Structure 1
Amino acid sequence: MTPQRITVLGAGSWGTAFAKVLADAGRDVTMWARRDEVATRIREEHANEGYLPGVALPPNLTATADPARALHGAEAVVLAVPSQSLRANLTEWRELLPREAILVSLAKGVELGTLKRMSEVITEIADVPAGQVVVVSGPNLAREIAQGQPSAAVVACADHERAVAVQRAAFNSYFRPYTNTDVVGCELGGACKNVIALSCGMAAGMGLGTNTMATLITRGLAEMARLGVKLGADPLTFAGLAGVGDLVATCSSPLSRNRTFGERMGRGETVEQARAAGGGQVAEGVMSCSSIRELAAGLGVDMPITDAMHRACHEGIDMRRLGAELLGREQKHEWS
Structure 2
Amino acid sequence: MNGKTIGIIGGGAWGTAMAHILASGGHDVQMWALEEEVVSAVNYEHENTKYLKGIPLSLKLHATADIKQAASDKDFLILSSPSLYLARTVAQIVDIPSIVNGSTCIGVLTKGFIPTDSGAKLILDVLETVLPFAYHKNLVYISGPSHAEEVAQGKLTGLIAASENPKNSIRFRELMKVPGLMVFSSLDVVGVQICAAAKNIIAVIFGCLDAIAEQSNMFGDNTESLLLAAGLNEIQTLGFAMGATHAETFTSIAGVGDLEVTCRSKYGRNRRFGRDIILQNILDPFSDLENLIARISEIGYLPEGAVACKYVQEISRKLNIKLPICSGLYRILNKEIKPLDFLIELLR
TM-score class normalised by the smaller sequence: over 0.9
Structure 2 length-normalised TM = 0.89
Number of the residue aligned with 2:199: 193
For residues 185-220 of structure 1, the C-alpha deviation after alignment (integer angstroms, 9 at most, x for no partner) is 100000010000001001112124212211111100
- Preserved CA contact (<8 Å) 1:38 1:48: yes
Structure 1 length-normalised TM: 0.92
Q: Is structure 2 residue 116 aligned with structure 1 residue 110? A: no
2:230 corresponds in structure 1 to 219
Q: Which amino acid aligns with 2:115?
A: L
RMSD of the TM alignment (CA)?
1.9
1:256 corresponds, among 261, 264, 268, to 268
Alignment of 1:1-336 (within 5 A): 4-96=4-96, 98-99=99-100, 100=102, 101-113=104-116, 114-128=119-133, 129-207=135-213, 208-233=219-244, 234-267=246-279, 269-271=281-283, 279=300, 281-328=301-348
Q: Is the 8 A contact 2:99 2:132 kept in 1?
A: no
SS in 2 for 1:83: coil
Name the SS for the 1:22 alignment partner: helix
Q: Which moved more, 1:37-46 or 1:192-201?
A: 37-46
Gaps of 5+ in 1: 329-336
- The superposition leaves residues 204-259 of structure 1 with CA deviations (integer Å, 9 ceiling, x where unpaired) of 12124212211111100001101111222111100001100000000001200000
Segments of 4+ in structure 1 off by > 4 A? 272-278
Larger deviation, residues 97-106 vs 12-21: 97-106
Q: How many Å apart are 1:13 and its aligned residue?
A: 0.3
CA change 1:300–1:316 in 2 (3 A) is closer
Following superposition, the deviation at residue 2 of structure 1 comes to 7.5
Change in CA separation of 1:306 and 1:153 when aligned onto 2, cut-off 3 Å: same
The CA distance in 1 between the partners of 2:255 and 2:302, in whole Å, is 21
Cα offset for 1:37? 2.4
The code of the aligned residue for 1:87 comes to A
Task: Sort the Cα spacing of 1:116 and 1:3 in 2 relative to 1 into closer, same or farther, 3 A.
Answer: farther
Against the structure 1 CA distance between its residues 190 and 142, is the aligned structure 2 distance closer, same or farther, given a 3 Å change threshold? same
Distance of 2:89 and 2:283 partners within structure 1: 25
Question: Structure 2 counterpart of 1:112, which letter?
Answer: P
Q: What secondary structure, in the 3-state scheme, does the structure 2 residue paired with 1:53 have? A: coil
> What is the letter of the counterpart of residue 111 of structure 1?
I
Go from structure 1 to structure 2 and tell me whether the alpha carbon gap of 1:239 and 1:35 turns closer, same or farther (over 3 Å shift): same
Superposed CA offset, 1:21-62 (max 9, x none): 221221111000112221122122211111111211112210
Counterpart residue identity of residue 161, structure 2: V
Q: Once the two structures are aligned, what percentage of the paired residues are identical?
A: 31
Q: Is the 8 A contact 2:71 2:77 kept in 1?
A: yes
CA contact (8 A) 2:68 2:92 kept: no
Determine the structure 1 residue equivalent to 2:216: none
Mapped contact 2:113–2:121 kept (Cα < 8 A): yes
The answer on whether the counterparts of 1:139 and 1:153 sit within 8 Å (CA) in structure 2 is yes
CA distance in 1, matches of 2:43, 2:139: 28
- Return closer, same or farther for 1:37/1:320 CA change in 2, 3 Å cut-off: closer
